[in-house]
Amino acid sequence: MTKLSVNVNKIATLRNSRGGNVPNLLRVAQDIEAFGAQGITVHPRPDERHIRYQDARDLKGCVRTEYNIEGNPIKKFIDLVLEVRPTQVTLVPDSIDAITSNAGWDTKTHLDFLKEVIDTFKSAGIRTSIFLDPNPELLESAAKTGTDRIELYTESFAEAFGKGDKGGITPFVETATIASSLGLGINAGHDLSLENIAFFKAHIPHLLEVSIGHALISESLYLGLENVVNMYLNKLK
């Protein structure tokens, strides 16, 4: 079964919009785990507009499943991850002012940088993953970085699927197949939803984990958080 890691950034966004501690981020993360999710993901950004760096520290004390911290490996982020020591760190090349992640790594151009950062995290016993576009030409250099996994950036699939074009899955299948042959684990995330997750899961070989936040929290407004978590789990079987 592919593991479901729930990104709780949107819970922090709601909390921050009013001040105080409602909703309680730590309690929601614990509830999500109790509902059956196998992981919690956060993506702190330098301006801390949703997840705060302190949130990432506090969650370490209450997350009992896999804990994934993702973000751009600037020094502040690297220091945070080494302090918290989550199960997994996912490296994402988003700019400081990015609303959301919008591209994967150019692993050829940034090979030496990624190798250095990944060596640092792996020396601390932290599993590593790098955010990657569905491009087989980047996989050989991705493997050379020493990363344990790649996370497929799935926006283009979700956009095509929403328009009725199921052919958008093709480059993801090819990339996942080659990545697996190179010994890379396969994660995926971005714009995956109840509408498209079963199709994606059925076609991607060796899919270990999906990270879902915006869609899952939005769907929960209508269907309830516990119900939605279990709907995803059923679709990922």
User: CA-CA distances (angstroms) from residue 164 to 59, 107, 210?
Assistant: 39, 31, 22
**CB-based contacts of 142, cutoff 8 Å, min separation 6:** 105, 107, 130, 132, 150, 179, 182, 184
Could you say which of 43, 66, 151, 219 is catalytic? Answer: 43
Give yes or no: 50 in active site. no
Q: Supply 78's token pair.
A: 């690297």
Give yes or no: 43 in active site. yes
Burial class (CB in 10 A: 0-12, 13-18, 19+), 114: buried
Give yes or no: 214 in active site. no
Could you say which of 33, 50, 151, 190 is catalytic? Answer: 190
Could you say which of 66, 70, 151, 209 is catalytic? Answer: 70
Rounded to the nearest angstrom, the gap between the alpha carbon of residue 22 and the centroid of all alpha carbons in its chain is 24
CA dihedral 65, 186, 101, 105 (to 10 degrees): 130
Catalogue the active-site residues. 43, 70, 190
